[in-house]
Structure 1
Amino acid sequence: MNESTATLQLDILDDFTLRLKALVARAGSVSALAKKAGISHSGLLRYLGGGDPSRKVLVALAQAANVDLAWLATGHGEMTSGMPKQSLTLLPLYEGQAANDHAPPRLDPTTLTELAFCRFWLQRNGLDASHLKALIMPGDCMAPHFLPGDTLLIDITRKELADGQVFLLEDSGNLLLRRIQLEVGGRIRLVPDNPAYRAIDVDPASLAVVGGVVWSARLA
């Protein structure tokens, strides 16, 4: 490594260290930033001393201090830009594909990404982010009420099945969305809104309820 390269690397390191110190100042202390970002105090001190944080740690630090991730990682752009990070909350998101044209869509309940929602909008509509998971409708079994690509919010605290309401259920390691129909004798009928798919009569004791649909939206 030649002298100019070493100097350049030191400058980059020093710049990141200064940006990280700015985050500490915004948080109030090293301990406050570490706690808010969910990392150890010693780990944050290591980064302040020149350690190289992982991408996951960078994201956590940027979100904790409400600064732009690209600015924190590279120094380019504005320290804060766009919608304030604290106004957004990330909800677990199910995504999937319909099995085929004749089978209902099934989702892997362990495969989750994230989708951002406005925290103020959720609160205004009486929705608690800690109770919610999002779903991108993967097929047409619930058409025309829910179409492929629609975004749905599932309240995972809604476990009691209600007649006529739509619930996300787990069955044999997969997830399916169905309208509930209460039958005589305590039986439950799982009804797809699309008549091309078959309704199923089940014993309610066999069902694992993920939650009930509380909101949906689609592009015009």
Structure 2
Amino acid sequence: MSSRNAASLMQGTEDTATYRPLPTMDSEREKTMETRTGSQGKNQGRRLRQSEEDRIRQLIAALIASSEHDGFASVSKLLGRGHSYLQQYVRRGSPRLLRQSDRRLIARHFGIDESELLTPEEKEPTAEDDLLFIDRLPNNGFSPGQAPEVKSMTVAGAAFSGSWLRRWFALNPETLSLVTVKGDSMAPTLLHGDEVLIDRSDRDPTRDGIFMLYIGAVPCPKRITVHPVTGGLVISSDNAQYAAFDSCRRDEVEIIGRVVWVARRLA
């Protein structure tokens, strides 16, 4: 059954499946609640959610009513529930909304797109909608003192999945930048040509880690720790051939951001 056919089933559902929308709040009660909460937006959101729940309930009722082989009991059994489970859901509104896994199973059973039985919040964005473009910082020399304004000096970057970024890093994509590593000072952790993602919102080295900072006028990745005695910053390279800088004052170090991700070509 196509999505278009599924949508057409919505007409006449109340007569064929005895669907009844859940009662809405009367206007006086609604006004009282808005005054009590001081937020009209919350009530509007509640009405939208209820409307969406009613739409899904009505569509499930229509699918069952239009089937020659299925009824409330058989589809309830498909979900591993008691025979009256879906009848109670459709006619009494209990539960208010079926579990997402149950709704996906019902959609597959009746041959419609699963998104038909999902709320807008549950629908996954398309691959194109999910793309976020992360700017790349040039690393052929900057003027010192510009770390807070690096976004104005970006060049063409790369596209990332927004949901992937939020899932793995819980970061605002607007604060992320790509930088290509130059040199071998951080080998073997970071190699020449590696692509690193830096979080420009995290320039606080009190939590040890690898940061992108300026050495002279060039951005370089370095490991930064806090000296346990002096409280100064210890700036070091993972490559032992490079000397470390001990007990640097915080105002002497210009940090662009923390390195949070690295990509490397293997062949």
TM norm structure 1: 0.52
2:224 aligned with 1:174, yes or no? no
1:142/1:192 contact within 8 Å kept: yes
For structure 2, the residue ranges without an aligned partner over 5 or more in a row are: 1-125, 143-149
Matched with 1:117 is: 160
Matched with 1:50 is: none
Give 1:174's aligned amino acid: V
Identity of aligned residues (%): 29
Query: What SS class does the counterpart of residue 86 from structure 1 fall into?
Result: coil
Q: Alpha-carbon deviation of 1:95?
A: 4.4
Distance in 2, matches of 1:140 and 1:171, equals 14
For structure 1, the residue ranges without an aligned partner over 5 or more in a row are: 1-82, 98-106
Q: Alpha-carbon deviation of 1:171?
A: 4.5
Write out per-residue CA displacement over residues 149-182 of structure 1, whole angstroms, 9 at most, x where no aligned residue. 2121111111210354111113443322110122
2:130 aligned with 1:87, yes or no? yes
Matched with 2:252 is: 206
**How many residue pairs end up in the alignment?**
129
Query: What SS class does the counterpart of residue 189 from structure 2 fall into?
Result: coil
1:95/1:137 contact within 8 Å kept: no
Distance in 1, matches of 2:196 and 2:244, equals 21
Distance in 2, matches of 1:112 and 1:189, equals 31
Q: Alpha-carbon deviation of 1:217?
A: 2.0
2:228 aligned with 1:153, yes or no? no
Distance in 1, matches of 2:154 and 2:218, equals 11
- Given the alignment, which residue of 233, 244, 247 partners 1:188? 233
Q: Which runs of 4+ in 1 moved over 4 A?
A: none
Matched with 2:209 is: 165
Q: Alpha-carbon deviation of 1:86?
A: 2.5
Distance in 2, matches of 1:205 and 1:190, equals 13
1:95/1:138 contact within 8 Å kept: no
Give 2:156's aligned amino acid: T
Query: What SS class does the counterpart of residue 220 from structure 2 fall into?
Result: strand
Pick closer, same or farther for the CA change 1:191–1:163 going to 2, 3 Å. farther
Matched with 1:30 is: none
Matched with 1:43 is: none
Q: Alpha-carbon deviation of 1:144?
A: 0.3
Pick closer, same or farther for the CA change 1:160–1:186 going to 2, 3 Å. same
Give 2:252's aligned amino acid: S
Distance in 2, matches of 1:186 and 1:164, equals 13
Q: Alpha-carbon deviation of 1:120?
A: 2.1
